[in-house]
Amino acid sequence: MKTLTSSVGFQDEAGTLLTNGSLIFSLPQGIYLILAGGGQVVSRSFIVNLDGSAKVPTGLQAWASDELNGQPVYSVTLCRGANGSSPISSVNWLIAGTSPIDLNQLTAH
């Protein structure tokens, strides 16, 4: 697992910080083998509630795409509200690289 960070707060299309908003991470359907150490990851969605500055909380860890067989691309939904309420946008990210990974530096896929 790798640590995920955000160097700046997430914003909506008007530039308003999504304070206490959320990100919903989803992998495509399937079971993914962990490349180092064995084991499997079953695709599922998980919600990350953003903090008061619209950043991901400190210490957030997740399986990165480059740690899983096939390097799956995450579909991430950006929401105004906590716990996935009021979705406003989505992006596909290949989460890869040296930990910690800054989500604000990832390009859309």
pLDDT at 44: 87
Distance CA 52, CA 19 (A): 5
DSSP labels, 35-77:
TTT--EEE--EEEEE--TTSSPPTT-EE--GGGBTT-PPEEEE
Edge-to-edge order in the sheet of strand 2-5: 61-62, 2-5, 101-102
pLDDT at 25: 97
Any idea what the CATH number is for the domain that residue 87 is in? 2.170.14
Number of structural domains found in the chain: 1
The count of residues in the chain is 109
Ramachandran sector of residue 81 (left: φ over 0; alpha: ψ -120 to 50; beta: rest):
beta
> Which residues does the chain have with pLDDT short of 70?
none
* Residue 92 lies in domain: 2-105
Pairing of strands 101-102, 2-5: parallel
Residue 22 tokens read as: 């959320």
pTM of this structure: 0.92
pLDDT at 71: 95
Distance CA 89, CA 40 (A): 29
